[in-house]
């Protein structure tokens, strides 16, 4: 994936930053979700002349039961890996339209059981292209 989407692609420096964010993100995911797959999408996977603005990751956990049983710090860490919309913060009091992992360099989503076809259709640009999959 690195060779195709970073090393041999336009805007290598910007892509290097996004790839580093992805690598760190997936490392953090693997510490919280024991096993699963990640589908990579967004401008990062296209080889256009434009600078990629970000990347999207949808997580497909292998064991949903373990996620449902999460509590405390593990559950907090899981939510810290996801893009959240309409966030109300208690201290300091504020409203945020959108909170993204890795300083906003990517969007992280969780694919619920039964939604795989919808995500696959969206990620493949309605069936016209492929997308990288990472398994851990």
Q: What percent of the chain has pLDDT over 90?
A: 85
pLDDT tens profile 58-78: 999 999 999 999 999 999 999
Q: Which domains does the chain have, with CATH numbers?
A: 2-135 (3.30.460)
Full strand arrangement of the beta sheet holding 133-135: 106-110, 55-61, 36-41, 133-135
- Listed residue (48, 59, 57) closest to 21, CA to CA: 57
Tell me what pLDDT residue 122 has.
Answer: 86
State which H helix or E strand residue 54 sits in. none
pLDDT tens profile 79-102: 999 999 999 999 999 999 999 999
pLDDT tens profile 24-34: 999 999 999 99
**CA dist., res. 89 & res. 112, Å (int):** 26
**CA dist., res. 28 & res. 49, Å (int):** 31
* pLDDT (mean) for 26-53: 93
């Amino acid at each position: 994936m690195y060779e195709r989407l970073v090393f041999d692609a336009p805007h290598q420096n910007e892509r290097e930053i996004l790839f580093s964010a992805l690598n760190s993100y997936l490392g953090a995911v693997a510490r919280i979700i024991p096993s699963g797959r990640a589908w990579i999408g967004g401008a990062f996977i296209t080889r256009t002349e434009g600078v990629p603005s970000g990347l999207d990751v949808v997580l497909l956990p292998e064991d949903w039961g373990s996620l449902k049983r999460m509590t405390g710090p593990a559950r907090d860490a899981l939510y810290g890996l996801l893009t959240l919309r309409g966030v109300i913060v208690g201290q300091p009091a504020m409203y945020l339209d959108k909170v993204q992992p890795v300083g906003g360099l990517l969007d992280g989503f969780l694919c619920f059981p039964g939604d795989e076809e919808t995500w696959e259709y969206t990620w493949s640009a309605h069936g016209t292209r492929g997308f990288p999959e990472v398994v851990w």
